[in-house]
Every structure is written in structure tokens, then in C-alpha cells.
Chains A and B, each alone.
Chain A
Amino acid sequence: MIEPGTPAPEFTLARGDGEKFTRADLEGKTTVLVFYPFAFSPVCTDQLNLYQEVLEDVAARGATLYGVSCDATWSQTAFREQLGVSIEQLSDFEPKGETCRAFGVYHPGGFPQRALVIVDPDGLVKWSYEAASPGDLPGANLIFDGLAT
């Protein structure tokens, strides 16, 4: 996966309102990208619920956290609404997985690896982490470790 110190690649994701989210949206702020395999799957559910609980603490560090998956925007929105979380979702649905591939987190099974990428305000990858398997849920402590680096 993409290594710290590497410039974030050019990419295009879809926001919930259909607008594009690109590399330009990373500039000027710290961004935490949470790549997760599937909306509505059990571990992804636990992961977004857990991270929601520390979202204010992430914001207090000047960072914005997003969920990224290859699900369609409509599915992501339904997922977010069903959970009752406010974490903005970004869709890598079409061309499927292109952004995940650019960040080196596309699983051969056709979904994102469970991974965390922190990009600094200059667009450089500050920290990255890939779970040992898609079924492993990275603790929220790791995000704060990454933000503190």
C-alpha cells in the first residue's frame, strides 16, 4: 500500500451528493481515509460505529475522516443512515476500485483492503496502515497514533 512520504495520487471519488472528491480536496487540511470492504458487513459496521464515537477527537486535531469503499453512493448513504453515523462516505464504484488501486489497497476479491491512510495538508501521505486481514478491525488508537506522527 501507499507509503508515508509519498504524494497522494490523483484520484476521483464520488461524494454522497454526487459531487466529485479529488486530490485537490485533500489540500490544506489533514485527511483520514478509512478504506473498508463492504457497506453493511459486520466488521465494517463495528468499525464505523467505533470511529464515530471519536470523530470529535479527530476533528479536534484538525483532521477530517472519510469512509471509502467500492459500494455505490446510494448503498453508502443507506449504510450511513442505518448506522446513524455522520462520517462522510466516498464511493469508488466506477471505475470500480480505481482509487483503491491508486492507494495500493485494492483486494483481489474486488473490494478495498481494510486500511487507513492519513494525508497531510500538503498532499503527502503522513501515515498508512493495512489490517492483517479484512476481518481485522484497526483500533481507533491507531488513527491517533498516525495523527501524532
Chain B
Amino acid sequence: MAILSILDRERSIAPPGYNRWLVPPAALAIHLCIGQAYAFSVFKTPLTQLLGIKASIPGDWKMSSLAWIFSIALGMLGLSAAMFGKWLEKVGPRRAMAAATICFSGGFFIAAIGVKLHVLALIYLGYGFLGGIGLGLGYISPVSTLIKWFPDRPGMATGMAIMGFGGGAMVGAPLSTLLMKFFQTQHSMGVFETFLAMGAIYGAFMLFGVLTVRIPAPDWKPEGYIPPAQPKKLVTTANVDVGKAWHTPQFWMLWIVLCVNVTAGIGILEHAAPMIQDIFPGRISKDAATGFVGLLSLFNLVGRFFWSSLSDKIGRKGIYLLYLLLGCALYAALPTVGRSGNVVLFVASTCLILSMYGGGFATIPAYLRDLFGTMHVSAIHGRLLTAWSTAAVLGPVLVNYLRDYRLDLGVARAEAYSMTLYIMAGLLLLGVISNALVSPVDQKHHHVEA
């Protein structure tokens, strides 16, 4: 169809003189929406009371069945990012962002039908499967575009976009709660209407990103920007094809670095509320524990921009060494901080850890660009995100199962997390070693221009 030609790569090339600061809002529009996935838990309780309304009754969905929705979505995020990265490089960010919009927004509509008909499989299919594809496509779509627009500050550029993903939960959670309150009646939890409204709102918001994203002309560079004659040791001016990149040791070293950094962070984030209540028994109310989770999310967001921007100054290898070493020291110190009873120090330490967790996410595309060049960075980034999917399973499992195991052994609740935290510190040490082993990619892998 002729109208769809607006999505063509050629149609999204910016005219001369285009202000590059118009591009980050397009990326943010996508990431702010898909980041809603981290706020899906606000729907969990209402979804278990769709029939009973005031409380769950026989026939209502179980919490354990609902947990699969988020798992499917995150699994599909990793898979679709890995599978469609190469396609995205070919068709350009606009078409890929449009596909992400259709999948993410359409996922809400299908899930709404699932709520109306009370068919859980439709929610798995809609929000989980289709929405998850939208997550993966949307996550990687703007990354290489921003790196191309900001060759002088790639860390800051990717930090800006990926910061939006962190902020998505902060918008998604209160928005969902507000909408459910608005649509709730004596006979309905308001979830059906909320899903429909969110599908429409997010669809429109993402469309703004689709229509405003621009890629620079191939010969474009920022005014006054002169690429360094002698690039830093790890920074290449060549490009490596995605098919070759993931056969290099550098790819797998970074995979390990991302996986351990995310495993450690997600383990705390996922279990933050009960953890702080267990470690400081009787001192942290339920509201305060919820506030703690919010604070961690805020530092996760700020860290994405702050640390990633800082990586432009001190280099990607250096910043990861900082994340991993400082993270290791903080994890190892947390049990002692807990025993000391100092809530403020505990909160400050975990906030710093979470800021570096976010920083790890946001800096990785720039690290990949340094090592493998700009040309295939989205596709390579997509494949690296399988480390995230792995960590999303590993982190919570480590925290939850080890806690239960220790409690079964009769360990006091306040001490139940010590072993997990020491294991996390050990994992980060493994990341330090992997990061130290990262070296420039062998020239034999470089892309040969036709």
C-alpha cells in the first residue's frame, strides 16, 4: 500500500540541517511505553478477582498462573530482539517501531478480549506473546539510530532512550491504577476497559515515535565534530556482521557481564519489599516497603542516564569495572549493613546498586558499538539481550529459593538473604574477570565493503 511507504527507510532520512535533539523524544516515546511491562504486577490482584470482584472465588485465576504472563513477555523480548535485529537493520527504525507499536498495543487489545471472555490463554497470547514481540522490537529499534546521531556521545544517547524503559514502570503503574479505579464498578474490576484504554493510549504515544524518528544521511556528522584520529584502544572504526559478532569471544564476555549484572540487580528489585521488611523486622511498614521499591526504580532510571553518559568520558571497559567492583563490594557489605540496623545506609547502598544495574543496561549498546561498529549494532544488541532473559529467570530464582531454603534450615528471617547476597557478589566478580578479558575484535571479523 502506498501509505505504508512512509515507513520506508528512505522516507525517514533527515533533511540537511535537521536538529538531532528531535530524535531522542521519538526513542523515549517508544521506551516509556514498553517499559510498562515492569508495572504489570499492578494487574495481578485484580486479575485474580475478575469473577469474585471483592475476593477470589473458585474459577478465578490463580496468582501462579498469572506469573506466566510476565515470563512469556520477557522471554519473547529476548527472542524477538535476537531474531528481528537483522531485519531491523534492513528496514530501518521507523518500520520496526511501527511493528513494535502494532504488537504492543495489539497485545493489550487481545488481552482485553481475554479478560472479557475470561480466557487466560488469550492474555498469554496477547500481552505475553504478541506484546513481548513488541517489547523486543521496540527496545532495540531506536538504539543504533541514536548512536548514529550522537557519534560524539554514544553512551549518553543510548542512556537517554533506555532511561525511558526504566521510567515506563513509573508511568505505567500509577496510570493503570488510576484507570482501573475509574472503570471499576460493583460488577467489574475495570481491567477489560483499562486494557482497551492502555492499548489506545500507548498506541497513540508510540505512533508519535514512529512518525518523528529520523535517521541521519549516510555522510552526516555533527557540526564541528571531527572523529578522533587515534581512536581509543577498544573503539573500532570498522564494522562486524552480526553473524560473525556472536562467534567472537568478545560477544560472550559481554554476554556474561550483562547477565551477572542483571542477575544481581533483578534479584534485589524483584524481592525488594519483603527483603527490607525481613532484614529490619518491625521497623518497615508495608507502605514504606512499597516506597522502597519505588525509590529503587527511580535510581534504576537515573543510573541509566548518569552512568551511561559518564562512560563517554571514562570508557566502557572502565565504567563496567566500576559497576562490577563497586557492586561486588556493596553486595558483600549488605548483610553487615543489615545487621548494624542502619536503614538509611542499607537503602543508600541498594539504591547505588540499582543505579549501576540500570547503567549496565544503558551502556551495553555503546560498548557493542565500540567493539563491533555501528552498522549491525541493533542486531548484535538484540542477540545480547538473551542475557537479560536468562538473568530474569536466574536472579529471582536465586533470591527466592535460597531464602526459602535458609528459612527451612531455621535461619532467622533477617539472615535469610546473607548467602544470596554473597553469591551475588561472587557473580559480579565473575563479571569483573569477563570484562577484563574484553579486547579489540580481531580484524579478520571486520566487514569488507563491497
A associates with B: no
Q: Which residues of A contact B (CB under 8 A)?
A: none
B-side residues, CB < 8 A to A, are none
